[in-house]
Chain A
Amino acid sequence: PPRSAPPATRRAPPPPPALGPRAVCGACFCAAFEAEVLHTVVAGRLLPPGAVVAVGASGGKDSTVLAHVLQVLAPRLGISLRLVAVDEGIGGYRDAALAAVRRQAARWELPLTVVAYADLFGGWTMDAVARSTAGSGRSRACCTFCGVLRRRALEEGARLVGATHIVTGHNADDMAETVLMNFLRGDAARLARGGGLGSPGEGGALPRCRPLQLASQKEVVLYAHFRRLDYFSEECVYAPEAFRGHARHLLKLLEAARPSAVLDLVHSAERLALAPAARPPAPGACALLDGLNRGRPRLAIGKGRRGLDEAGPPRDGEPERAPAPEAVPAF
């Protein structure tokens, strides 16, 4: 009996051997991975033709894979790429990572721009922030600062190079950790913003997206392995103190009990329905810097706007918390 012709767009999802029942060779895996990123970008209309795309490049595996794949896909998508690296001023960590980025930029022949916190933010490096926020004897809150400042720095770097879009290398594991973390910390505002594929860019900011959002960490690592990509794999010196560590630990446990946990969490994150945030958005870089400069760094991450005007730390047992930026892993 006659068989109907296969539809042209049908392709197999690329589970790496560790995850799926099918075995694929390295080349097919990479091809499928690239096809999926292409599909994500095209179906989500994330990067239109003609876009000048600033790739947040940290030297780590995610941004390395991201830049590599986008370079492969650039002709098909009709986009051009610029690498933007952020120097947070973390001694013994960021300098080594930046060396990796420089090597990669040379290899890919892509223009690289490095923006430093010290230049953008009036001399504040992360090490200085860490010292400033550590003074009270409690654990550091520096990751909170770093996340916000880095976003701002990336924005600045992207504008410097004339970009129209910003992409970062967040993968599915990152998204899963984020949703877990946001619930554990009660960050309803962040949750309400949703886990969609990208943000259109609020208040004049450049649109951002995360083309690797649907790839699991394992797939990213494997891709980097098969393509023999050179990346920097050490952890930020401040990472052990970040709350994200709890969420990451939980995620690994969940994954062991159920391999699809990461994707299940991403699915959940995409479909959350929270009341739209009634309070003002999270304090941006300006507010944080203001706090730092005044010698009261925790003000801006306390109870919202009030924190800037009032003295004293937030009270215990307060039910409402101002949304503060989450600790975002170095991308």
Chain B
Amino acid sequence: MCQVGEDYAEPASEEPPPRQPGREQKCVKCKEGLPVVVIRAGDAFCRDCFKAFYIHKFRAVLGKNRLIFPGEKVLLAWSGGPSSSSMVWQVLEGLSRESAKRLRFVPGIVCIDEGAACGLSPEARAKTLAEMKLILQTVGFPWHVVALEEVFDLPPSVLRCFAQEPVETEGAYKAAVDSFLQQQHVLGAEGAGDSPSLAQGEEQLSWPCTQDPQNPQSPDRPPTAAQTEALSRLFDSVKTLTAKEELLQALRTHLILHVARTHGYSKVMTGDSCTRLAIKLMTSLALGRGAFLAWDTGFSDERHGDVVVVRPMREHTLKEVAFYNHLFAVPSVFTPALDTKAPEKASIHRLMEAFMLRLQDQFPSTVSTVYRTSEKLVKAPRDGCAASPPGPRCLLCMCALDIDTADSATAFGAQTPLHLSQTQPPTPPPTAPCCSAGMGRVQGCCGGARPCEREDPRACVIEQLCYGCRVNMKDLPSLDPLPPYILAEARLRSQRYQRPLCSGSPGGPWGGAPAGPLPTQLLPQGLHRAADPGVPG
């Protein structure tokens, strides 16, 4: 019944289509082969047709979006899991095909070792890494294995969106493809071939680097014990699994972005499958990220500007991925994640996943329905990363802030993030909202028993977050364990906008006279006497 307009279906009994699966059934496509897998509403495919179907879907998604230009450097984000492994395999196969249909970009692989955040022992991490390296060597693309601990070395600039030229028109794409093909032709017959090593050859032509794909580009530096400790401390200090998951995603994204920028990749491919994206959509909805669904789940995500994230696996269901990987021996490595073995109710993510998969059992069109609705999402015009973004962006997720200065919906009982760290009830309502209208129904960070100078950096970070990230921050009682680049960028931005944050008088900690239409909020001076401009946090 799940779908609008569809009749209510009796659970399960309606599910199999009228076709009788029997020994005589042949593949629905070629009508000859013996079927090995049933996909969608009872379509039985033989091995070869399934392979063709699977590969075709991958290439069709890339082809119809026309975002990846020939010769472009594309970073494949590989977690070791089935979907991203399948994606890597598709790219590998796609690059080695006959020239007419060959994929034309230049791949690299990035793999983030998140073991410290997940509480894995160094031995377990080393073992997993070794397994991954075996596969990476087989694949043969240039690869970068990066420990999550390296977030502690990231520069604040990773959080900035670099304005990009306007998206190429269709004509430009075709022109680029044509000129690339011409180039190949001029270079002679070497252009056509089947082996992956030729992909490397082309790489050398279009990108004059002499790297040997067997060696990683970045030196394989294991993280220091101090960094590992710091990362563990950070994740231990987060109170809920939901917030941990979100924080992990943010850090992972920043790190991948950094690797991409450092090595000249303009695209990143992630292996999110249809199933995962449907779950992600519902999860994002529940987390207050309704404004950003198109970026979180769409084919392309241009929020960073110079590096675009694409999701070529988005039309493959998890079932298709699993069968393909099984039938065609796609190697993958199991790595425990943050929520491995966590109980179902432990986080919003787990809840939503369990709910969706259960509902899918009852109503088999659930995932595809949600996915199809996600295709109707549009990127609201206020995001213009192609032009320079007019509005401020979230410090962590880098989407345009979705909190209006005008009073927004969440008025009733809305818990403002600024109260998070206050364990005792605040003293009589504070005098003024000190962090400008952007906070909506903020009580003001100076209310309460805590001394104000401890609140300043927190308030200034919170104010630069979107709604969803603010709610997550509630579960992080102290900002101290965060990697320094986040706090540094927060400080830089607040100084740049010269907002009268927490400044009782001109020349206060955060800079001089307010610029722009923001009203000057005068704060009780006494609360800021102790604030020292030079002291961070």
Contacts and interface: CB of A to CB of B under 8 A. Distances in A.
A238 B221 CA distance: 64
Interface string B368-384: 01101100111110000
A139 B441 CA distance: 45
Nearest to A319: B372
Given A43-B407, A273-B378, A257 B351 contact: yes
A89 B459 CA distance: 55
Given A183-B281, A214-B410, A253-B351, A188 B373 contact: yes
Given A183-B370, A214-B409, A267-B409, A20 B415 contact: yes
Given A186-B3, A271-B402, A273-B294, A13 B348 contact: no
A254 B348 contact: yes
A216 B413 contact: yes
Contacts of A7: 432
Interface in A1-57: 1-7, 10-16, 19-23, 36, 39-40, 43
Contact of A219 (B17, B346, B413, B441): B413
Interface stretch (A120-128, A200-208, A296-304): A296-304
Interface string B416-440: 0001001001100101110000000
A172 interface: yes
A264 B402 contact: no
A214 B8 contact: no
B376 A274 contact: yes
Interface stretch (A72-80, A107-115, A321-329): A321-329
Contact of A267 (B4, B17, B365, B410): B410
Nearest to A300: B5
Interface residues of B, number: 76
Interface in A262-290: 263-275
B326 interface: no
B56 interface: no
Interface in B34-90: 40-41
B425 A322 contact: no
Given A15-B415, A272-B293, A187 B4 contact: yes
A140 B286 CA distance: 29
Contacts of B17: 316
Contacts of A197: 409
A230 B234 CA distance: 51
Contact of B5 (A3, A6, A138, A324): A324
B524 A1 contact: yes
Interface residues of A, number: 83
Contact of B289 (A258, A268, A323): A268
A21 B370 contact: no
B1 interface: yes
A50 B468 CA distance: 39
Contacts of A265: 285-286, 288, 290
A241 B11 CA distance: 12
A317 interface: yes
A134 to B, nearest CB: 10
Interface in B371-406: 372-373, 376-380, 402
A261 B348 contact: yes
A267 B378 contact: no
Given A4-B432, A172-B412, A219-B413, A141 B471 contact: no
B286 A274 contact: no
Chain B interface mostly: loop
Contact of A324 (B4, B347, B433): B4
A215 to B, nearest CB: 5
A156 B10 CA distance: 36
B525 A186 contact: no
Contacts of B9: 138-139
A138 B8 contact: yes
Nearest to A12: B429
A179 interface: yes
B317 interface: no
A261 B287 CA distance: 7
B3 A258 contact: no
A213 B413 CA distance: 12
Contacts of B242: 257-258
B41 A316 contact: yes
B413 A20 contact: yes
Given A184-B366, A188-B373, A214-B411, A257 B348 contact: yes
Nearest to A23: B425
A178 B489 CA distance: 38
Contacts of B347: 257
Contacts of A317: 40-41, 365
Interface string A152-194: 0000000000000000000010000001100111111001100
B153 to A, nearest CB: 32
Given A4-B432, A184-B369, A243 B2 contact: yes
B429 A10 contact: yes
Interface string B336-378: 0000000001111001100100010000011001101100111
A246 interface: yes
B5 A302 contact: yes
Contacts of A219: 412-413
Contacts of A39: 407, 411
Contact of B369 (A138, A185, A275, A304): A185
Contacts of B372: 186, 319
B412 A271 contact: no
A273 B380 contact: yes
Contact of A268 (B291, B351, B443): B291
Contacts of A295: none
A216 B10 contact: no
B6 interface: yes
A271 B7 contact: no
A311 interface: no
Contacts of A138: 7-10
Nearest to B347: A257
A186 B41 contact: no
A188 B376 contact: yes
Contacts of A172: 412
Nearest to A253: B351
Contact of B4 (A40, A186, A270): A186
B152 to A, nearest CB: 28
Nearest to B241: A257
B408 interface: yes
Contact of A14 (B287, B413, B429): B413
B288 A267 contact: yes
A323 B5 contact: yes
B5 A22 contact: no
Contacts of B517: none
Interface of A: 1-7, 10-16, 19-23, 36, 39-40, 43, 136, 138-141, 172, 179-180, 183-188, 191-192, 197, 213-216, 219, 241, 243, 246, 250, 253-254, 256-258, 260-261, 263-275, 298, 301-304, 313-314, 316-317, 319, 321-324
Interface of B: 1-10, 17, 40-41, 240, 242, 281-282, 284-291, 293-294, 345-348, 351-352, 355, 359, 365-366, 369-370, 372-373, 376-380, 402, 407-415, 419, 422, 425-426, 429, 431-433, 441, 443, 467-468, 471, 474, 522-526, 529
Given A180-B282, A273-B294, 13 more contacts: A4-B432, A6-B432, A138-B10, A141-B8, A183-B370, A184-B2, A254-B351, A254-B352, A268-B286, A273-B380, A313-B7, A314-B5, A321-B6
21 contacts: A2-B525, A4-B432, A4-B523, A6-B429, A11-B429, A13-B441, A20-B415, A138-B9, A140-B8, A180-B285, A186-B372, A191-B373, A215-B413, A216-B412, A257-B347, A267-B467, A268-B284, A268-B293, A270-B409, A275-B376, A275-B377
